[in-house]
Structures are given as C-alpha cells and as structure tokens.
Amino acid sequence: NLRWDEPSFQELVDATIARLKDSDEEVFNLACEKLGMLENNNYFEELPAIISVSPNARKSRLFSLFCKKDLSRDDVSFILENDTQLGDAAQTCREQVARARRLKFIYE
C-alpha cells in the first residue's frame, strides 16, 4: 500500500490527473472515480487548466472534483468566472465558495 507522502504516490496521482485529458470516456470516468476517493485534495492545482480545455460535457464532473479542495482566493475567482458551466456541481461549488469566504477572506 502506498502512503500519500511517498514520491511514488504523487507520481500515481499525477498520472491519474493526466488521464482527465484522455479522449476515451471510460479512461476519463475511471480517473474521476479514483481521484474522487482522495482525502487530500490539494493535488488538484492543475484542474483549472484542464477544465478550461475540456469539452462542456465533462466540466460538471471536473468541477465536482475541484470543489472538494480547500479553495484559495484564485480558486474562488475561477469558479465564479465559470459559474454557468458548473452543471450538476453548482450547488457544491457555491457552498464551497461561501465556506471559503467565511473562513478565510474575513481575516484578509
């Protein structure tokens, strides 16, 4: 079993994230499923770039993954800029944006 702090775990996560760009729907779906199981979601820094070039049909699923992470100010801006593309992830993402604003931005 790999532990999250081992370099080979990071390599595995990076390889799985790269599959989010795969044109094969089965590969994409499997990558989403595996990444959705991660408890540490700070691996998702690359998702905005992937979301930006992904077909619209995939954006909702990608936003669902992205909105699981601890959102930064830039993440919140990205989500708000793409609000019309959130699809099924809209409620979760909007709740995470509100949470990030309550927890972080109040101190800045």
Q: What pLDDT, on a 0 to 100 scale, did the predictor assign at position 44?
A: 87
How does pLDDT run across 1-29, given as a tens digit for each residue? Answer: 666 677 788 898 999 999 999 999 999 99
Report pLDDT digits (tens) over 37-81. 987 777 888 999 999 999 999 999 999 999 988 898 899 999 999
Find the angle CA(83)-CA(57)-CA(34) to the nearest 5 degrees.
95
Instruction: Kindly give, in sequence order, each residue whose CB lies less than 8 Å from that of residue 71, ignoring residues fewer than 6 positions away.
Output: 79, 96, 97, 99, 100
Whole-angstrom Cα Rg for the chain: 14
Average pLDDT over residues 95-105: 87
Residue 5 phi, psi (nearest 5): -95, 5
Please tell me the pTM assigned to this model. Answer: 0.87
CA distances from 43 to 3, 22, 61, 63, 83 (A): 14, 18, 16, 14, 22
Contact 31, 17 (CB under 8 A): yes
